[in-house]
Amino acid sequence: MMMGRFQFLLACALALLASSITSAETVEHFFLVQNLTVQRLCHEQVITTVNGTLPGPVISVREGDNLVIHVVNQSPYNITIHWHGVFQLLSGWADGPSYVTQCPIRPCQTYAYRFNITRQEGTLWWHAHASWLRATVYGALIIKPRLGKSYPFLSPYKEFPILLGEYWDANVVDVENQGLATGAAPNISDAFTINGQPGDLYPCSQTGTYKLEVIQGKTYMLRIINAALNNQLFFKIANHKMKVVAIDAAYTAPYVTDVIVLSPGQTTDVLFTADQPLGSYYMAARPYISAPAPAPSQRIPFDDTTTSGIIVYQGAKSSATPIMPALPAFNDTPTAYKFYSNLTGSPLGPHWVPVPRQVDEHMFITFGINLAPCGGGSAKCGGIFGQRFSASMNNESFQLPSKLSMLQAFYSNNKKGVYTTDFPDNPPLVFDYTNLSNARNQSIIFAPKSTKVKTLKYGSTVEIVLQNTALLGTESHPIHFHGFNFHVLAQGFGNYDSENDPRKFNLVNPQIRNTIAVPTGGWAVIRFTANNPGVWMVHCHLDVHLSLGLGMAFEVENGPYSTLPPPPIDLPKC
């Protein structure tokens, strides 16, 4: 009897394994990276694109599929592609950040990214991870359930990717380089975009406005991605509610709202029903500016424009003027915090990972904007006090290597001159982190440049307090983890209270993310398991701050059954 039961269970297991293997496919794409002249905002501008489109091609796969992306670089710039949010389990060579997991693909070179999509469903995206090129080199990566599986909610009538972008009427590489050369803040963008188009609120943009036709009574899914370089964005649809069902390719408990906010790097899947009278309705996005002005007359410059698309009901009069939603004020932190903090995970959904209870490593990481010496004796730079703007984590301003990628150094155990393993678990100085009286305290505002990582044992669980600081002003920083999702246990304003704030931890159904917008002048506590060998970058997803050094990396050691494989033969050389 026992033998018969064993054979039955073995047969079922083998059948399940065969099913999972046969349902997986290899999805192959070719990415031609090249410059393209586009017409936007009444001018022609040369931008860098993939396959001649803005945004680039949508990649659609199913959970379990293998992806092969052949990148051919015919642009004049070094390029890499990051698959934002993909775990890259034992495929760290394909993660993409320049000089971290690979050397750049140089002009006239090619490289094939190969990786598997494992235990992930929902909306992710891909983008350049070299210089500011992700301003125009980006696209959606949509992961659907395996064949025979379904969403944990009623399937929508149709699905549409909505990519929110940021556009400069200039060469973005020049914009970044000018800022770095002068030490000042780089020029702000000229427009925001929906699926590559600014929308009809901008000059010369009416004919290109993105339009979405819907049928009255039907329910649709919008897969919304904030691909903007430097701005969090509010998003609304006039007269329509949205039901959030997933964030960062992790299912959530349904949350109904009339406004969502996304930091750069984040994705949000929403369902909306076309339940309004026949007509046209704007969907619109504009920035959430979390940094308060020191005084009303000293507003920090930002792109204060609004991008729009139009939802048109089938059968509506073509002459109807679209209805515009009332968007939140630019500095509406209460609305942003309400949205971010009210999201919870879905423990009954597929691929749910419970919160690990045993913590092996505790870290407290402060971050914010700093200064660096201008250099050159009496020379003055464009930052405050005539110095250069900089940025740091735990007072270490991250500097990329240039002779060898960090992952190559890790694999070959040749780290000397590439990086060190002494990133601090805590800031070197304890002070009143969010007190604006420290905003221009020159005794604590400078941070040294370094390339430091924190080493983690394979399988260890790490809890991190992410603490914003008020150095040079308070701001919400979106922090993105490569290689891992994490549970968001709690978040709040002010300085983290190690005695009282742990009582707020959600250990039952916290939201799961790969990018978190740490509240302005506040903190967040996250927890993850280091189950993926390699070198994984952690950084601010505002590129203006990443280029200044707001980042670090984790070095995850090999495990007994999980060892980083050798690099691909065609891996680009430095």
Distance CA 351, CA 341 (A): 22
Domain with CATH 2.60.40.420 in the chain: 24-149, 151-344, 361-556
350: nearest Cα among 246, 257, 269, 506: 246
- CATH class for the region spanning 24-149: mainly beta
Residues 78-121: tens digit of each pLDDT: 999 999 999 999 999 999 999 999 999 999 999 999 999 999 99
Is residue 533 a contact partner of residue 563, using CB atoms and an 8 Å limit?
yes
Architecture of domain 361-556: Sandwich (2.60)
pLDDT grade for 13, boundaries at 50, 70 and 90: very low
Which of these ranges, 50-59, 334-343, 377-386, has the smallest mean pLDDT?
A: 377-386
- The whole-model pTM stands at 0.94
pLDDT grade for 5, boundaries at 50, 70 and 90: very low
Residues 332-359: tens digit of each pLDDT: 999 999 999 999 999 999 999 999 999 9
Which one-letter amino acid corresponds to residue 157?
A: Y
pLDDT grade for 6, boundaries at 50, 70 and 90: very low
Kind and range of the H or E run holding 65: none
Domain 151-344 homologous superfamily, CATH: Cupredoxins -  blue copper proteins (2.60.40.420)
Angle at 60 between CA 54 and CA 66, to 5 degrees: 120
Mean pLDDT, the chain, as a whole number?
Answer: 94
Return the structure tokens found at 286.
């504009």
Residues 176-211: tens digit of each pLDDT: 999 999 999 999 999 999 999 999 999 999 999 999
Is residue 185 a contact partner of residue 161, using CB atoms and an 8 Å limit?
no
Residues 393-436: tens digit of each pLDDT: 999 999 999 999 999 999 999 999 999 999 999 999 999 999 99
